[in-house]
Amino acid sequence: MKRLSSSQIRVFNEIASQGSFSDAARVLGVSQPAITAHIRTIEKAYDVKLFERTGAGAVLTQIGRRLFQRTASMRDTEREAAEILSRAHMLEVGELSIACGAAGPAMQLVSRFQKSYPGVRLQLLFGNWQEVVNAVRYRKVDLGLLTDAPDADDIIKQPFTTQKIVALVPKDHPLAQRRKLSLEELVGEPILFRTGNSQTQRAVDAVLKKYDLNIRPLLVLEAREAIYEACAQGVGIGFMFDAASTRRDGVVRIPVTQLPETHSEDVFCLASKRKLRATDAFFSMVK
């Protein structure tokens, strides 16, 4: 059986990770034709197609995704080895990519980390619960900041704060004067839901099912920011984790009696990435 060389695997992994032949060439410090030649050699030798070229870059084929699942850890090992050799720099330079669920809790930690390690370049992306989990699992980012991060053997997580779900009530709504609300009182009100990939919505749906309550939403919106803006404009009442945003305009945040549970806000990563220098520094800062 033919074997791939370490350089071929390195090139393949970098293209798969970067999503682009040109970006992979830049990271590896070689020419794009050299990168292309490596992939063509593999594809010709095994009569397979590893990438589809699109306007947005290079997309893994089905066999490409299977191969990357097996080889991606080698890229992490290479990075870890390089970081061991450069620990003397004390993070004077480096990079760290982070996927975030809510801007509020995330930015507090990002600000602290940047002040401690100003030479480390941070790359942030935001998404719903499932998007953040996928970004970490498929190695799009080094670590994630998320409410109720998943429990798994290949995941390491650490809590750094807790928060509860509150109702976002437009400030001119009659219920805005209340100190607490029950879900029964919201039946018949114009209610705004998030999509099922939202951890907030999953928690709300679970409580509605528990109490056998049927609330039909006026609107189902994808983003947390869209929910907040709709509530601020008086469209309806929504739900949000209380620390998810520092905005205070246009709405009143009111606790919901059936939603007393506190949820953990976690920093998490793949176990294979935990010992990377910048990741380790971030976890240590949270401690």
Per residue in 219-272, pLDDT (tens digit) is 999 888 999 999 999 999 999 999 888 888 999 999 999 998 899 999 999 999
Burial class (CB in 10 A: 0-12, 13-18, 19+), 100: buried
Q: Which of residues 32, 47, 77 is at a domain's end?
A: 77
pTM of the predicted structure, to 2 decimals: 0.66
Give the CA distances from residue 209 to residues 88, 201, 204, 236, in Å, rounded to whole numbers and listed in that order: 55, 12, 9, 21
Residue type, 242: D
Q: Is 201 inside any structural domain?
A: yes
DSSP conformational letter for 249: S
Dist. CA 157–CA 149, nearest whole Å? 7
Residue 37 has pLDDT above 80, yes or no: yes
Better pLDDT: 97 or 55: 97
Residue 33 lies in a domain: yes
Regarding whether 250 and 184 lie in a shared domain, the answer is yes
How many angstroms separate the CA atoms of 16 and 60, rounded? Answer: 7
The verdict on 146 and 273 lying in the same domain is: yes
Helix (H, G, I), strand (E, B) or coil at 165: strand
> Could you read off the pLDDT of 193-216 as tens digits, one per residue?
998 888 899 999 999 999 999 999
CB half-sphere exposure, 132, CA atoms < 13 A: 28
Mode of pairing for the β-strands spanning 155-163 and 263-270? antiparallel
* Residue 108 CB partners (closer than 8 Å, separation 6+): none
pLDDT for res 1:
61
Amino acid (one-letter) located at 167:
A
In this prediction, residue 145 carries a pLDDT of: 96
Query: Residues 170, 257: one domain?
Result: yes
Q: What share of the chain has pLDDT > 90, as a percent?
A: 75
CATH no. for residue 230?
Answer: 3.40.190.290
Phi-psi label, residue 187: left if phi above 0, alpha if psi -120 to 50, beta otherwise: beta
CB-count burial class (<10 Å; 0-12, 13-18, 19+) for 192: buried
Any idea how long the chain is? 287
**271 shares a domain with 209:** no
CA pair distance 70, 169, nearest whole angstrom: 48
Do 188 and 140 share a domain, yes or no? no
Lookup: tokens for 146: 């998320």
Confidence of residue 86 (pLDDT cuts 50, 70, 90): low
Domain membership flag for residue 82: no
| Among 240, 264, 283, 262, CA closest to 148 | 264
- Residue range of the domain that includes 45: 6-77
Closest CA to 136 of 271, 275, 282: 271
On whether both 140 and 63 belong to a single domain, the answer is no
Which pLDDT tens digit goes with each residue over 152-192? 999 999 999 999 999 999 999 999 999 999 999 999 999 99
pLDDT at 237: 98
Domain count, the chain: 3
